[in-house]
Structure 1
Amino acid sequence: MTESSSHLDFERPIVTLEKRIEEMEIQAETDGLDLSRELHNLEEKVEKLRKEIYSDLSRWQRVQISRHPQRPYALDYIGRMLTDFTELHGDRHYGDDKSIVGGPARLEGEPIMVVGIQNGRSVEERQMRNFGMPHPEGYRKALRLMQMAAKFNRPILTLVDTSGAFPGIEAEERGQAEAIARNLFEMSHLPVPIVVAI
């Protein structure tokens, strides 16, 4: 990825064509020209190029996409896929870990419980979300939501996007390992379906 843009190096041909389309749209509007045919051809070319590039990515290019700063995070997916989402907060023991978001929602009209790991786009938001690394209270919040889903017989959708649990001393003092282990144990006994998207 270059320093000056948020586009990856292998996306450069697509970006070049998209800039050309943008320039032509401005020119058409400014000069009152009908460039719809040319614009349509360029847009088709962009789609074809996009399919070609993304259908044959190297392993490293896939890693670059997974780390892209503009990739969607949990709240982006929730906002686009789900309706009637109500975010619930806190673990009922210590506090609210903002790196874990979740609550009841509807997927195509069906009630579900969603739990996701949220990162941030700005430095301030990343710090608030602890860079997407949950503390023990985040795991306890997730468990509370999953147990609530079991109580109300709702399937669970989890959206995982993390570099791992927060490795700080304070997290270990508050029971990080136990919180993770309890989640795994409890999840294996929940009577509702769990779908995990990574």
Structure 2
Amino acid sequence: MSSNFARQAIFDIHKQVIAYEFLFRDGFRDSFPGIASDVATQSILNDLFIEGNITQEAVSDGLPCFVNFSYQSLIDGTALQYPPENLVVEVLEDCPADSVLFEKLIDLRAKGYCIAFDDFIPSTDWIPFLGLADIIKIDFRAQSLDSITRFVQEYREKFSFKLLAEKIETKEEYHFARELGFDLFQGYQLSKPERMPYPFVA
């Protein structure tokens, strides 16, 4: 029997697994079922931190858990219901970059939560948020290598965030990201998502 989520490993420059991203999956198909993002977020968090004998330590090997948060989940303060020690709050790319979100992220950081921006594409609205980021995730399928290079060269030294190259699918992309100075790596070239069995106990 399978759970309603899968995990995908995140690696450092030494190819050591340092975290997992948790992805909501349909109970019968190994894919995202198209439900509302905040519902998927709540389901994953409940499975990770609440459900009976299911423990975050068991399903993540004690490593940090990256979980996607919709705009509504962030505004509602959903993350505050869960311990910050091993939770990485991923701000989804379709969130509006408004002042309400900005203040919510300031509050989360002040309370010890790690903030990651998913599929980040630089724009005038989002640049002020870079100072709140612990991790910036760059989707190698969504941007050209030239665009990625320009972003890294312009902003890497101005802020203290780590760079995560995601959707790395070839050796060439992996080596390119390493040479450019990325800190973390995620994608099929390194590890595919694995559906978690129920009840996730070691």
TM-score by length of 1: 0.31
Higher share in strand: 2
TM-score by length of 2: 0.31
Higher relative contact order (CA 8 A, sep 6+): 2
